[in-house]
């Protein structure tokens, strides 16, 4: 494993560009510098095989989801900086290899050292830190593969390894359209919170076929109440579109193109037929979860993919009527995880203490709002609730931000960076 050493000139140039933007006020720029340098200097590791391992923060494991989100702002550097592009490509390769080790796993060890939740009742291995199956864990590597290509023109990561991993993902998502009858995946954890394990001997709540693909857990790593997690299925539709572009333009693989398109169409029909409910105050809105049996969970969670993040994911635009209705619902007291305090208000999560707001959700709220004044308001809120640390936390008490969870959390740091960059007109090319 190699230290990254000196920050690349491109990172210094980005911070200089940010400092020249009138929107980047000194206290915002200070957090930006702390956050982006913290991620570069403490979470990214170059391995001897040329891949990149990315720890999530204060846990020494790599989540497929978190690692993608952590490097996303660096994509703006990658087009003109080989070191940064190589680093991101190294992460993509490691993610693809990890998927082929076990496409049901969400978090991996740096080596086969047996760290993590080895006593969980599922098909564990020494490579795996945790094997909670989450749709988004497979979406994010496809997204990063696509964004690396689109932002740099590179295709060296889009070869046989990518094709094999993509086919493994398609196979799994197709199988999990029929979780009740076709899936062997089970997960149980003993002596834990109810959100850390699946009911029915590890199979999860009962579902009926909808066309959507099943998920055991949310991007919070909490168990789904109902197996069809709507925002994660939306994300799957988006990345299947990315996969089609790659299959046709890079791989010249019409079979892969057709297979991805067919699955995307089935999932999309499932969302439209089973994922929309009529709320008495807000009209038609997207549910967070459903089961195909008539049950719905109306809420939103701070973690991405979320309903709030629909335009950020690229599933629908911010002016889509059902999204606008859903946004008004989830940013209101009707969402059981929308919290208000004396210093902040925003979406939290059952994953953390009741009443705690998440900076990730505040960043997504800003990234999906078209009003620059609202983006600035949310940046100010985030900067004023950092408990004087100059970094973002996982969550905080909106009445007393000195109370927070996780001393440092790289995903939240980089979401602040991405929102400030967006506010200053510097964006990842989609």
9-423 is a CATH 3.40.50.720 domain: no
- Supply the pLDDT for residue 408: 79
Residue-wise pLDDT for 389-430, tens only, equals 999 999 999 999 999 999 879 999 999 999 999 999 999 998
Residue 2 — very low, low, confident or very high, per pLDDT cuts 50/70/90?
low
The residue-averaged pLDDT of 15-30 equals: 91
For 151, the token pair is: 């932002």
User: What pLDDT, on a 0 to 100 scale, did the predictor assign at position 4?
Assistant: 65
pLDDT band at 58; cut points 50, 70, 90: confident
**How far is 217 from 213, CA to CA, in rounded Å?**
12
Give the mean model confidence (pLDDT) for residues 248-256.
Answer: 98
Grade residue 8 by pLDDT with cuts at 50, 70 and 90: confident
Q: What is the pLDDT of residues 335-348, one digit of tens each?
A: 999 999 999 999 99
- Tokens standing for residue 114: 């047996």
What is the structure's pLDDT at 22?
87
- List the one residue out of 239, 241, 74, 75 whose CA is nearest residue 154: 75
Q: How confident is the model at residue 254 (pLDDT cuts 50, 70, 90)?
A: very high
pLDDT in tens, 118-170: 999 999 999 999 999 999 999 999 999 999 999 999 999 999 999 999 999 99
Cα–Cα distance, 225 to 252 (Å, whole number): 40
- Angstrom distance (rounded) from CA 347 to CA 307: 11
Distance of alpha carbon 190 from alpha carbon 202, whole angstroms? 11
């Amino acid at each position: 494993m190699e230290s990254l050493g000196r920050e690349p000139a491109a990172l210094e140039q980005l911070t200089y560009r940010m400092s020249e933007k009138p929107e980047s006020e000194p206290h915002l720029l200070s957090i930006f510098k702390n956050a982006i340098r913290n991620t570069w200097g403490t979470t990214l590791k170059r391995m001897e095989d040329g891949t990149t391992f990315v720890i999530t923060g204060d846990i020494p494991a790599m989540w497929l989801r978190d690692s993608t989100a952590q490097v996303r702002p660096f994509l703006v550097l990658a087009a003109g900086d080989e070191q940064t592009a190589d680093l991101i490509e190294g992460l993509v390769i490691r993610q693809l290899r990890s998927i082929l080790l076990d496409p049901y796993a969400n978090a991996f060890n740096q080596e086969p050292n047996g760290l993590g939740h080895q006593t969980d009742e599922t098909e564990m291995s020494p490579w795996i830190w945790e094997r909670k199956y989450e749709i988004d864990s497979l979406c994010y590597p496809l997204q990063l593969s696509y964004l690396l290509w689109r932002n740099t023109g590179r295709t060296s990561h889009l070869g046989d390894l990518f094709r094999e991993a993509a086919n493994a993902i398609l196979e799994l998502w197709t199988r999990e359209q029929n979780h009740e009858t076709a899936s062997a995946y089970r997960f149980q954890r003993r002596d834990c919170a109810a959100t850390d394990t699946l009911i029915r001997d590890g199979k999860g709540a009962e579902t009926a076929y909808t066309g959507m693909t099943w998920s055991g857990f949310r991007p919070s790593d909490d168990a789904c109440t109902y197996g069809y997690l709507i925002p994660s299925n939306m994300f799957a539709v988006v990345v299947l579109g990315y996969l089609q572009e790659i299959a046709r333009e890079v791989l010249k693989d019409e079979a892969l193109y057709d297979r991805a398109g067919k699955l995307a169409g089935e999932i999309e029909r499932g969302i439209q037929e089973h994922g929309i409910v009529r709320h008495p105050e807000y009209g038609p809105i997207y549910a967070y979860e459903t089961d195909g049996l008539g049950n719905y969970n109306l809420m939103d969670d701070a973690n991405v993919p979320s309903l709030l993040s629909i335009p950020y994911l690229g599933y629908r635009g911010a002016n889509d009527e059902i999204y606008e209705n859903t946004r008004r619902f989830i940013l209101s007291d009707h969402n059981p995880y929308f919290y208000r305090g004396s210093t902040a208000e925003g979406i939290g999560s059952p994953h953390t203490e009741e009443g705690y707001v998440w900076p990730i959700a505040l960043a997504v709220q800003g990234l999906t709002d078209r009003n620059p004044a609202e983006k600035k308001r949310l940046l100010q809120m985030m900067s004023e609730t950092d408990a004087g640390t100059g970094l973002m936390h996982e969550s905080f008490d909106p009445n007393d931000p000195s109370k927070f969870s996780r001393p440092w959390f790289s995903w939240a740091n980089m979401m602040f960076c991405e929102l400030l960059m967006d506010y200053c007109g510097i964006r990842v090319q989609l």
